Amino acid sequence: MADLGETVDLDEFADGARSFYADPYPVYDALRRRGALHHVRTPGPGPREELWLIVGHEASRAAFTDPRLVKSPPWGFDDALIGRHLLFADPPEHGRLRSLVTREFTPRRVAGLAPRIQKITDELLDDMVPRGSADLIAVLAFPLPLIVICELLGVPDIDRERFRRMSTQVVAPTSVDEESSVYVELAEFLDALIEDKRASDPADDLLSALIRTTAEDGDRLSPDELRAMAFLLLVAGHETTVNLIGNGVRALLSHPEQLAALRADMSLLDGAVEEMLRYDGPVETATHRFAAEPVEIDGRVIPAGAPVLIGIGSADRDPGRFAEPDRFDIRRDARGHMAFGHGIHFCLGAPLARIEGRTAIRSLLTRCPGLTLSDAPNAWLPGLLMRGTRTLPVHW
């Protein structure tokens, strides 16, 4: 086995004045200066792991397309509850699953959602604006993408608070036991939903289409694959957008000159959303990969079978790729950011997230001209997967 060398405890490596979660970027900067690959201990609270972390834009981009870094663990994957979805699949299985989904989850279907996304946004703001203050996550950033993805999939009205609890435990678990029980609960919910769809008259929603879709060679999604795909679309299909909106609004309100520039010229909005994704994106590290064989990066060797994370947040703050990367600049050319990943696992829902983000931020700034951050402290999501806060108090 390769020598692991120094193991960096990310909690201890962070500045004691601020937690790692509040501002991980100085830690990533310090790690980049030491090299592209580090053996780290993930921060608490919640389950802690020791794994390999890749930092920096060039190394991360290469890792995303390195066939030696696979998504399926070498010892096998326990998919008894949810099933195997795209984030756990490697070629050729990944290509088969993705092609079946993209037959139905088309750019045309996504583009056709724009008027409905605007209507949902307007209704949420109609309820929010008279209050004068609110938790923006609870009243806009969370319900908007959840309503959209539920309508897209054909999920009937669900208990939003219950689903928020389940979804947050999946992407930012606080304990192993709680995470396991949530997967059981979600699996039961999805099985019942799919069974209802099969027993109902054919509908025009995405989940019904995935149940019916058949490739030219007759291939179809199995029941386990359907459950796994519904899980991926439902959870990943809204959690990333929650934090795109939350992090983006927080960045704008923390930089008054950039906020004023966007208010003065809404043609900057598309570029502003890309800069929000680069500057403080919703996904901090990509989901786990595993070394199928020993992999050398920047003079260090990842042992075969070891878990690996690709640091998206570090890559998008790399001064070797973006000048003055810690500066939030909505006029910046942010192309090349990796907020949605890179390579064959590039986020399937990126176009939908962009439409939702642009619609929410444009409408919010139009309806709330005096929008400012409140002073209440933020509770940051634990774990290295999602970057965001549980609340975002604002007033106007």
Residues 6 or more apart in contact with residue 1 via CB below 8 angstroms = 303
pLDDT at 16: 52
Q: What confidence tens digit (pLDDT) does each residue in 186-217 have?
A: 888 888 888 888 887 778 888 888 888 765 56
Per mean pLDDT, which range of 81-85, 278-282, 378-382 is the poorest? Answer: 81-85
pLDDT at 229: 87
Q: Residues 393, 252: contact at Cβ < 8 Å?
A: no
pLDDT at 179: 66
Indicate if the pLDDT at residue 1 is higher than 60: no
pLDDT at 79: 62
Residues 6 or more apart in contact with residue 224 via CB below 8 angstroms = 79, 83, 84
For the record, the structure tokens of 146 come out as 């959840």
* 291: amino acid identity, one letter: A
pLDDT at 173: 73
Q: How many CB atoms neighbour CB 151 within 10 A?
A: 15
Distance, in Å, from the CA atom of 255 to the CA atom of 217, rounded to the nearest integer, reads 54
Q: What confidence tens digit (pLDDT) does each residue in 330-365 have?
A: 999 999 999 999 999 999 899 999 999 999 999 999
**SS3 of residue 54 by DSSP:** strand
Over residues 81-88, mean pLDDT: 80
CB-based burial, 336-349: b 16+ in 10 Å, e otherwise: ebbbbbbeebebbb
Indicate if the pLDDT at residue 17 is higher than 60: no
> In this prediction, what percent of the chain has a pLDDT beyond 70?
92
Q: What confidence tens digit (pLDDT) does each residue in 308-339 have?
A: 999 999 999 999 999 999 999 999 999 999 99
Residues 6 or more apart in contact with residue 36 via CB below 8 angstroms = 54, 55, 56, 58, 59, 297, 298
Has domain 7-395 been given CATH number 1.10.630.10? Answer: yes
pLDDT at 261: 97
Q: Residues 380, 174: contact at Cβ < 8 Å?
A: no
Q: Which residue has the higher pLDDT, 102 or 252?
A: 252
Distance, in Å, from the CA atom of 141 to the CA atom of 258, rounded to the nearest integer, reads 21
For the record, the structure tokens of 136 come out as 């923006």
At 76, is the pLDDT very low, low, confident or very high (cuts 50, 70, 90)?
Answer: low
DSSP 56-77: SHHHHHHHHT-TTEESS-TT--
- Give the side-chain half-sphere CA count within 13 A for 319: 10
pLDDT at 299: 92
> In this prediction, what percent of the chain has a pLDDT beyond 90?
58
Determine phi and psi for 160, rounding to 5 degrees. Answer: -60, -40
pLDDT at 367: 96
Q: 143-153 and 160-171 helices cross at what angle (nearest 10)?
A: 100
Beta bridge partners, 285, equal 311
pLDDT at 2: 42
Mean pLDDT of the chain: 89
pLDDT at 166: 78
Over residues 227-236, mean pLDDT: 84
The residue extents of the domains of the chain are 7-395
Residues 6 or more apart in contact with residue 130 via CB below 8 angstroms = none
Q: What confidence tens digit (pLDDT) does each residue in 23-52 have?
A: 999 999 999 999 999 999 998 777 789 999
pLDDT at 75: 67
- Would you give the DSSP letter of residue 87? G
Q: Residues 353, 244: contact at Cβ < 8 Å?
A: yes
Per mean pLDDT, which range of 2-11, 132-141, 183-192 is the poorest? Answer: 2-11
